[in-house]
Amino acid sequence: IEFSTQVLKCDPSSISFASDYPIISSPDTSRALDIAAHHLRDLSQTVVFPTETVYGLGASAQSTQATSKIFSTKGRPPDNPLIVHVSSLTMLRTLLPLGYNLSRAYEVLIKHFWPGPLTLLFPRNADIIPTIVTANQPSVAIRMPSHPVARALIASSNLPLAAPSANSSGKPSPTRVEHVLRDLDGKVPIILDGGACDIGLESTVVDGLQADGNIRILRPGGITVEEIERVLRQEMHDCAQIPKVLNAPTTPGMKYRHYSPSVPVTLICTSSSPPQGTNPLAVSAFLESLVNTHDEVKIGVMAPSDSKLWGFLVPKEGLHWRRYDLGPSSDPSVTAHRLFDGLLTLEKEGVHLILIEEVKEDREGLAIMNRVRKAAGDSV
């Protein structure tokens, strides 16, 4: 199905919440949300909306018919489950099995990180959530976004929304409306424009359902391991055992390639030790090898602003550099915010190859390198 895609502006600053309900001061934003809610609730259609992480492609999580349109629009494999988005704890409780009680660890994480970029696994209520959402898994991933437009849309439609990133499957996630339009224009009826996403990487996915009570990070993201460890220590110091936070990336969609633009991506390793039996290359020799003497070559480079790599990008006949600054190496949150925009911006500029320099894997760096490794076809 082809649509004449409507882009409707929403002003996040015009939305506030009284308890679970949105109060909207802008008539244009209120009208846009009403139109989008109508498409979701009454027409069983998809709607693209902003979150604090990336733009999402949403549909009713309670409808197999509606949710199936997410998979067909994205070309998403059916064994890759979706995250369900709620606007309140009241809505969360309607999705959980009767009699299910939150663990102490989940209470702590919800207290500190909801609304926000943290997804938690819960037992699936088979009467509410269809199997298409969970890819036949016994658990369902749920989060409460903090972006005012996302939360207001969910509350206005009174529907939990299944919503992966609003891009063709395998492509970099969109953090601006122009990213969505280049990919999905004509494939979705409504896009709510709430401006650039603040965080720029998807949510952290946590499994706290295992018998040992530990917290497993299935996907690193907007909430860091260090932050999770800190609040658990802070709030559960009186418990016999504080849950361990384990890095265990095992989400079902991991077997698929993600975050890849239409041009090759190479990871440049400038600080980690080379694999055993591998000799590192001199930077100058590697860059020299990229030059094709017969054609003009445009190469995009993504690196921290204080990287030594910039000093090697000297002008050369037939070779054109396109630079994309990822911010200071001391602040990986800036790199996280700029990562997907960099990939999509350089792709739009028509480069033949994108080089990304590695960053240290602490704080947001863990999530950054998780995405970069999936985007890169090779590493040097």
Average the pLDDT over 207-232 and give the result. Answer: 95
- Cβ-contact 201, 233 below 8 angstroms: no
Reported as a single tens digit per residue, the pLDDT across 240-273 is 889 999 988 766 555 556 778 889 999 999 988 8
80 annotated to a ligand binding site: yes
Lowest mean per-residue pLDDT among 74-88, 174-188, 213-227, 282-296: 282-296
55 annotated to a ligand binding site: no
Give residue 186's Cα distance to chain centre.
23
Q: What percent of the chain stands above pLDDT 90?
A: 83
DSSP-derived 3-state class of residue 296? coil
- What per-residue confidence (pLDDT) applies to 17? 93
257 annotated to a ligand binding site: no
pLDDT level of residue 150 (50, 70, 90 thresholds): very high
Average the pLDDT over 358-373 and give the result. Answer: 94
53 annotated to a ligand binding site: yes
262 annotated to a ligand binding site: no
Where does 265-376 sit in CATH, by number?
3.40.50
List, by residue range, all CATH 3.40.50 domains of the chain.
265-376
pLDDT level of residue 143 (50, 70, 90 thresholds): very high
- What per-residue confidence (pLDDT) applies to 251? 63
Token reading at 256: 């698929």
Average the pLDDT over 324-353 and give the result. Answer: 95
Average of per-residue pLDDT values in the chain = 93
pLDDT beyond 60 at 141: yes
Token reading at 308: 């030594």
Backbone CA torsion sign across 58, 69, 171, 80: positive
Residue 289 vs residue 178, higher pLDDT = 178
- Cβ-contact 136, 80 below 8 angstroms: no
pLDDT beyond 90 at 171: yes
Beta bridge partners of 84: 142, 162
- What per-residue confidence (pLDDT) applies to 273? 84
320 annotated to a ligand binding site: no
250 annotated to a ligand binding site: no
In the 8-state DSSP scheme, what is residue 37?
A: H
Q: Which secondary-structure segment (H or E) carries 323?
A: strand 319-325
Q: What percent of the chain stands above pLDDT 70?
A: 97
List, by residue range, all CATH 3.90.870.10 domains of the chain.
6-193
Reported as a single tens digit per residue, the pLDDT across 346-364 is 999 999 999 999 999 999 9
292 annotated to a ligand binding site: no
pLDDT beyond 70 at 206: yes
Reported as a single tens digit per residue, the pLDDT across 59-84 is 999 999 999 999 999 999 999 999 99
Reported as a single tens digit per residue, the pLDDT across 110-126 is 999 999 999 999 999 99
- What per-residue confidence (pLDDT) applies to 255? 57
**H-only helix segments in 114-255:** 131-134, 148-157, 177-184, 225-235
- What per-residue confidence (pLDDT) applies to 314? 86
pLDDT beyond 90 at 318: no
Rg over CA atoms, the chain? 22
- What per-residue confidence (pLDDT) applies to 223? 96
State in words which class domain 6-193 has.
alpha beta
- What per-residue confidence (pLDDT) applies to 249? 76
179 annotated to a ligand binding site: no
Average the pLDDT over 97-118 and give the result. Answer: 96
